[in-house]
Structure 1
Amino acid sequence: MTKQFAVPPVVFPSGGNPTVGGANVQQRRVPTPPFQPHRPSNSGIPFMSFDIGSATASTSSGPIYGGPIGGGGGSANFDDEEPLLDELGIHPDQIWRKTKSILNPFRVNPVVYQDSDLSGPILLYMSFCLFQLLAGKIQFGVILGWIVVSSIFLYVVFNMLAGRTGNLDLHTCTSVVGYSMLPVVILSALSLFLPQGGVVRLVIAAVFVIWATRASTGLAVSLADGGDEHRGLIAYACFLIYALFSLLVIF
């Protein structure tokens, strides 16, 4: 006679094998969709599913950025800041003193040129290009190329003549050539009112070239050592430089 026992069925998880021992059987969780905000039924725009009023209220409840710590309420103090021109290395008073010194061709003050800069020469170069443009001559590239060549030419000539005692660097040569361009700039401004050709135009150009030559020679000799005995040759080199620039004005 066979006796039958009531054995309950074994239930396995739907995701895989049963756990060891058959205890604590966990079923797989069904992923729930992400949170969806409540969309008002009266909204005519489908993508405007958030409440603008609540977002504005939440952002206006407090400041997002409270400023730097210990900054005095977040206010910047510009009293200790240097002027913008001083940070760029441009000193208008120094440029004016150097330019005014060139105006006197018989007594050029070399003391104000101890600190050589390029802001004044760039201003004179741009003025020269502007006056040439008013005369109908577009010569920006030519003037820029001649400026570079002239500075290198004066640097090489002076140091070859002075030898080991010559201490005139290229930066100072560029500054001297640039500030001494003031007579040529004045000549280019006067040439707008002078008749084309003629002996008068050549005589006026020669006067301004001698003016620029005297100023540049005095500055080059006084700013460096070993140039007093070669003043004539340095003056000849400077004369060639400014005569070349005056040809742009005359012709």
Structure 2
Amino acid sequence: MKKEFAIPPVQFPSGGNPPAGNLQQRRVPTAPFQSSRSSGSSIPFLSFDIGAATASSSSAYGGPIGGGGGPSGSASFEDEEPLLDELGIHPDQIWKKTRAILNPIRIDPTIHRDSDLSGPIILYLCLCLFQLLSGKIQFGVILGWIVVSSMFLYVVFNMLAGRNGRLNLHTCTSVVGYCLFPVVILSAVSLFLPQGNYGRFAVAEVFVLWATRACTSLMVALADGEEEHRGLVAYACFLIYTLFSLLVVF
């Protein structure tokens, strides 16, 4: 005896059975975010075009980048200032100020009104180099003496001038550094002089008087009318450059 089972009828969508071609088309995997050509709507997708980006940037800035052709374009390398000027180092100005020290009788103080520290640093390094060639490592000593001597001359001069003192510490440091040029020459000359000779003291005295004369003239001229204190300023400058010359001699 056979037993019959009740099988529910199969119901298809209202459109009827799908054709076999559509079933096969549905089974084909498609890449994500890939738009279908058959459908009218497509998924927007960002595309990067190098040529379009370059053209848009060129039109936005008025010309090609780095060309400087447009009115509002970015600055080119030719329009940039030299590196030494950006750092505040002017070799022609340093040379003029150093050359002015060569004649201690007639020094032009107008050149030293714009004080800077690049020239004194170069002279400081030259002095340290000549001392190193003579077998003396005195980088820290010379740098410390320059700072102390600049502060000493600044305090002495402003105490003498009182309320009329117009000399700042930056100017004092610049003047003391540039007037160190005779001591630098002394350190170079002492390399060829024998040790323990009295001629070294005579030569050192000449260079000390040279540096003292130059520094005193510049300090008095830059202070605008402090001639009555020339002797005291000269004494302070003489002490300063005597200390530097003792480093060279001994």
Q: Deviations over 1:143-183 (max 9, x none)?
A: 11001000000000000111111111000000000000000
Q: Deviations over 1:170-207 (max 9, x none)?
A: 00000000000000000000111010112100000000
Partners of 1:133 and 1:65 in 2: how far apart?
Answer: 59
How many Å apart are 1:71 and its aligned residue? 5.0
Partners of 2:63 and 2:170 in 1: how far apart?
Answer: 45
How many Å apart are 1:72 and its aligned residue? 2.0
* Root-mean-square deviation (Å): 2.1
Q: Is contact 1:155-1:168 (8 Å) kept?
A: yes
Partners of 1:164 and 1:195 in 2: how far apart?
Answer: 49
Q: Is contact 1:180-1:215 (8 Å) kept?
A: yes
Q: Is contact 1:105-1:215 (8 Å) kept?
A: yes
Task: Give the helix-richer structure, 1 or 2.
Answer: 2
User: For residue 222 of structure 1, what is the amino acid of its counterpart?
Assistant: A
User: Is residue 2:61 matched to residue 1:70?
Assistant: yes
Equivalent positions of 1:86-235 (< 5 A) are 86-235=85-234
User: For residue 74 of structure 1, what is the amino acid of its counterpart?
Assistant: I
Change (3 A) 1:65 1:190: farther
- Give the aligned partner of residue 47 of structure 1: none
Q: Is contact 1:166-1:227 (8 Å) kept?
A: no
- Give the aligned partner of residue 84 of structure 1: 83
SS of the residue 1:90 aligns to: coil
Change (3 A) 1:192 1:75: same
How many Å apart are 1:86 and its aligned residue? 1.2
User: For residue 143 of structure 1, what is the amino acid of its counterpart?
Assistant: I
Aligned residues: 196
Change (3 A) 1:200 1:64: farther
Q: Which consecutive unaligned segments of at least 5 residues does structure 1 have?
A: 1-34, 36-57
Change (3 A) 1:127 1:74: same
Using structure 1 for the length normalisation, give the TM-score. Answer: 0.73
User: For residue 88 of structure 1, what is the amino acid of its counterpart?
Assistant: L
Q: Deviations over 1:16-74 (max 9, x none)?
A: xxxxxxxxxxxxxxxxxxx9xxxxxxxxxxxxxxxxxxxxxx99x73596356325222
User: For residue 177 of structure 1, what is the amino acid of its counterpart?
Assistant: V
User: For residue 121 of structure 2, what is the amino acid of its counterpart?
Assistant: I
After TM superposition, the runs of 4+ consecutive aligned structure 1 residues lying more than 6 A away are none
User: For residue 65 of structure 2, what is the amino acid of its counterpart?
Assistant: G
User: Is residue 2:238 matched to residue 1:247?
Assistant: no
Q: Deviations over 1:123-157 (max 9, x none)?
A: 00000000001111000000110010000000000
Q: Is contact 1:161-1:230 (8 Å) kept?
A: yes
Partners of 1:147 and 1:118 in 2: how far apart?
Answer: 12
Partners of 1:194 and 1:71 in 2: how far apart?
Answer: 67
- Give the aligned partner of residue 16 of structure 1: none
Partners of 1:64 and 1:107 in 2: how far apart?
Answer: 68
In percent, how many aligned pairs have the same letter?
70
How many Å apart are 1:225 and its aligned residue? 3.3
Q: Deviations over 1:91-119 (max 9, x none)?
A: 11111111110001111110101101111
How many Å apart are 1:219 and its aligned residue? 0.2
